Structures are given as structure tokens and as C-alpha cells.
């Protein structure tokens, strides 16, 4: 793991404790209904382009999904559209960091 990834992993617990952070789960609605981080919102990966204005209003964004693949894609897309965000990877890990 490089220094940048290590720093991001260390920043995620602090980000998740902030009231300004919005956790966005990019899994499908069915996956989201099967379990999610309390307080997170569900915007499926394929719907992200339609929600850019909504994302621009968010102060701090942590993205998550099942294993980290879709949240990485969402993170890259948002950054290409000048929206700052953090890829939190798996929702299970984000849930752990948020609650511990």
C-alpha cells in the first residue's frame, strides 16, 4: 500500500465521524436494502451522472459498495467532474470505521 492509500485509510475514520460527511452507497437498491451503513444514502453507480448537482452540494463524500470496485469507479467519475470525494471501499469496512 502506497503512502497516499495509507493516508486515505487513516483519514476515513475521522471523515466518518464528521457531521458534514455524506456516505453514498453505490450498490443497487436491492443490495442496499439487504444491509447498509446507518445514515447512508443509496445512489446506484449507473445513476451517478444524473445526480452531479446533488453531489456538488455535499461537503464531504465517502463512497462505498460491496467490495470497492464500484465505489472506485464512482470516485474516479466524480473527481473527473471536479467533485472531491473519498473511496471508502466495502460498505462493511465503512460501517466498521463509522461505529468504532
- Has 65 been annotated as catalytic? yes
Neighbours of 51 (CB within 10 A): 15
Select which of 22, 65, 78, 85 is catalytic.
Answer: 65
- Burial (0-12, 13-18, 19+ Cβ within 10 Å), 50: exposed
Catalytic residues: 65
Amino acid at each position: 500500500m502506497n503512502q497516499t492509500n495509507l493516508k486515505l485509510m487513516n483519514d476515513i475514520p475521522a471523515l466518518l465521524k464528521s457531521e458534514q460527511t455524506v456516505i453514498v452507497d453505490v450498490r443497487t437498491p436491492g443490495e442496499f436494502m439487504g444491509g447498509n451503513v446507518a445514515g447512508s444514502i443509496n445512489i446506484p453507480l449507473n445513476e451517478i451522472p444524473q445526480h452531479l448537482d446533488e453531489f456538488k452540494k455535499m461537503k464531504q463524500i465517502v463512497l462505498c459498495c460491496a467490495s470497492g470496485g464500484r465505489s472506485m469507479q464512482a470516485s474516479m467519475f466524480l473527481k473527473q467532474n471536479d467533485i472531491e470525494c473519498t473511496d471508502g471501499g466495502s460498505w462493511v469496512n465503512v460501517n466498521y470505521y463509522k461505529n468504532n
